[in-house]
Amino acid sequence: MNNTLPSDMSSNTAARILVVDDSEKNRNLLAMFLTRLGYSASKAEGGAAALAMLDQQTFDLVLLDMIMPEIDGLSALKLIRERYLINELPVIMVTGMSEVEGITRALELGANDYISKPFQKDILLSRVRMQLDICRLYKDVKTSEERYSLAFSASSDGLWDWDIVTGKVFFSDHWHEMMGISPNCAFDSTEQWFDRVHPDDITALRLAIEEHLKDPHRLVKREYRALHEDGSYRWMQCRARALFSDSGTPLRMTGAQTDISASKTFDPITGLPNAAVFMDRLQRVYAHARRTGSAANLALFSLSMNHKEKVTSALGPAGYEKLTSAIARRLSETTAVDDYLAQLKEPAFVSQLADNRFMILLEGVPQESAELLKIGEQIQKSLASPFAIFDETVYCTTSIGIALPSGANDAVDELIQDAISAESIARKTGEDITHIYNPLLHGKALDHLRLENELRHAIGNGELRAFYQPIVSSADGRLAGSESLVRWQHPERGLLSPDHFIPIAESAGLINAIDLWMFRESCQQYREWVSNGASPKMFISVNISVQGLGIAWADQVLNAVKEFGIPPSSIHLEITESIFAGDIESIITLLEQLVDLGISFAIDDFGTGYSCFSYLRRLPASYLKIDKAFIDDVVDSEKARLLVNNIIHMAHDLGMKIIAEGVESREQAEILEALGSDYFQGYYFSRPVAAADCVMMVPAGLQA
């Protein structure tokens, strides 16, 4: 072993390295190796312990294991990056050789580098040295840049320099000018400055400064309102950094103050009044209209561009901002020159409420649907002409929602929400649609929202139910396995089928939790069946969403398999053809890794979605499930039989077995058996039933 002192150890202080691994053996091995090389190595047994140590101590580098219980490496990395920039605290991930997707995700989250287990000492030493050198160089360059940056900003920012030892503060002439104070006045203390900070903002500003004086890594960057000499409050942004002695004692603090009042009232991209100004205007106008009885003459338009994601993907963030700015200009021009709107007593007030959402407040308009829709169509017509963005011709469509004051929306927040709800319905209806808020349709949207909120609590409240539908072998008509199907025992609506809540779960990001609950429930039930005498050759088939496919989900599946002692060969995971619409290469790699461990896959609902035969031959699937839509006509239609026959032969040629879904009659079963189907599933054999009704069930099948 090379015992030469590392280059990064040339100073008197050894670089401090935190080793994070749930394996005591791995922790000790890495720490011992680093210590022998002269580094100061500390150990943490997991992500939570590591984060606690980082809160209390300062480290120069972290060696972080990828897979750990409770807080895994990726989660810990994400939390570390919330505290330290990538060049402030290097993180080297320690991974297994097969964790390709995890490595990619780690680098995206801000990992500096990675090493593979079992690690090679020379490679580890080289990468540790390199990251420490890069970090040191970054900090030196950053310190130099900040000095020059502060000096350069003196021409536009108000500078201040606080001698912490004496308590005196120097404020530049431009700082005095921002506050409307004469440079000749006696203004030289932090308390004089703090006395001019708005009462609602002073606590946060003081706290930011105090935290920085305790921890140099927490730089001061705060926005606050400062009292100008003319009696008004101006929005300021303060940025500051302190100088510390070798012993860590703060000596002085230098800062820059910038007047950001304009950005607090106008959107920096479009130049339109921002949300704060819009809310103030709407509240004042709405209150005045209600006092004077003229609320019936108000109308609020909510407008957004359709397909924002596609536009951003094509033009990039800079192009999207340029397009948004162009839309804002055209909206302002249209509302100012339109023949109808120009006649209004008050000009249309156009504002940007949020990203990709404009608000137009009209006063003095009749609440007649035809007239309001005409205004919306005229606005959309003005935006239909193409925009020139970076030499590209861009067409965009919009959706507009209109809300009118009523007894149901006494508050401006409710009026805004009504306009946004109407806009959402317009977007779902088509392109360039204007829709006026309708309380009846809003009720349906509200019901959807309530159901989503109730679904979020369904798992923890024990409301999900597992039902099982037998899968029968065509060879002997006996039970070969069962498909697990989720139901929701809603406390008020009764037992709900997946059609009522799975689409909501997918759109709300809850499907992964439901899939995992269903998988664990199925594993536990399988173990009970086998313990009670069922054949261990029986398999369980569980549906998973394409949204759930990933290393983290796979780890949870494998943990459940170990926990319940289930043979991996008894597990079938069903995936739909929507898999072909995702990142197919990454998915294939993940599936192959699970197949290597003994887990089987079935392609569900084949022929109803994104069928892609070039990928089908590459997927490591062992089973193909023919959808019920093909089975329904197999008795009466020669074309249907020919199609099913071709699918069966194709699957067999690719080494896959066939499961025919939706078999509802003996005739269908006999035809499918003759065509070569390996398994059957459907009402002819059994409906989905609760576990208690499925235990040891051996349906008569074809022998009936």
pLDDT tens digits, 500-509: 888 888 877 8
The answer to whether residues 321 and 269 touch, using CB atoms and an 8 Å cutoff, is: yes
Q: From CA 310, how far away is CA 154, in angstroms rounded?
A: 42
The pLDDT of residue 90 is 94
Average pLDDT over every residue of 231-247: 89
| Cα(88)–Cα(114) distance, integer angstroms | 17
| Spacing of C-alpha 183 from chain mean position | 50
Report the range of poorest mean pLDDT among 368-377, 513-522, 647-656. 368-377
**pLDDT tops 80 at residue 144:** no
Task: Tell me if domain 7-149 and domain 267-437 are identical in fold.
Answer: no
Say whether pTM exceeds 0.85: no
- CA dihedral over 192, 197, 198, 202, signed as positive or negative: negative
Annotated domain spans of the chain: 7-149, 156-264, 267-437, 451-698
521-535, 578-592, 620-634, 682-696: least confidently modelled range: 578-592
pLDDT for 280 beyond 90? no
CATH number of 156-264: 3.30.450.20
Instruction: Output the DSSP codes for 484-525.
Output: EEEEEEETTTEEE-HHHHHHHHHHTT-HHHHHHHHHHHHHHH
Q: Is 309 a catalytic residue?
A: no
Across all residues in the chain, what is the average pLDDT? Answer: 85
CATH fold group of domain 7-149: Rossmann fold (3.40.50)
Is the four-CA dihedral 510, 513, 519, 520 of positive or negative sign? negative
Q: Which fold has domain 451-698?
A: TIM Barrel (3.20.20)
Considering the chain, what percentage of its residues have pLDDT values greater than 70?
89
- For residue 2, the model assigns a pLDDT of 46
Alpha-helical segments (H) within 599-677: 613-616, 628-631, 638-653, 666-675
pLDDT greater than 90 at residue 590: no
**What is the pLDDT at residue 78?**
94
What confidence category does residue 698 fall into, taking pLDDT thresholds of 50, 70 and 90? very low
Q: What is the pLDDT, as a whole number, of residue 367?
A: 74
Given a cut of 50, is residue 693 above it in pLDDT? yes
398, 384 Cβ separation under 8 angstroms: no
Q: Which of 66-70, 183-187, 365-369, 576-580 has the lowest mean pLDDT?
A: 576-580
The CATH classification number of 267-437 equals 3.30.70.270
Residue range 640-656: mean pLDDT, rounded: 92
**439-463 residue pLDDT tens:** 655 556 667 777 888 898 898 899 9
**Which residues have CB under 8 Å from 504's CB, separation 6+?**
448, 451, 452, 455, 510
Whole-number pLDDT of residue 699: 39
* Secondary structure letter of residue 449 according to DSSP: H
At residue 443, the pLDDT reads 58
Give the tokens for residue 347. Answer: 């000009």
Q: In the predicted model, is pLDDT for residue 354 greater than 50? A: yes
What pLDDT is attached to residue 98? 67
Q: Are 471 and 482 in contact (CB under 8 A)?
A: yes
Residue 645 has pLDDT above 90, yes or no: yes
One-character DSSP codes across 381-403: HHHHS-EEETTEEE---EEEEEE
Q: How far apart are CA 164 and CA 190, in angstroms?
A: 10
pLDDT reading at 528 higher than 50: yes
Give the model's confidence band at 153: pLDDT under 50 very low, under 70 low, under 90 confident, else very high: very low
Angle, nearest 10°, between helix axes 584-596 and 551-564? 20
Q: Between 64 and 608, name the one with better pLDDT.
A: 64
99, 483, 521, 661: which is the annotated catalytic residue? 661
- Give the separation between CA 490 and CA 233, rounded to whole angstroms: 53
Alpha helices in 87-120 (DSSP H): 100-109
Residue 89 to residue 83: CA distance in whole angstroms: 9
Partner residues linked to 389 by β-bridges: 392
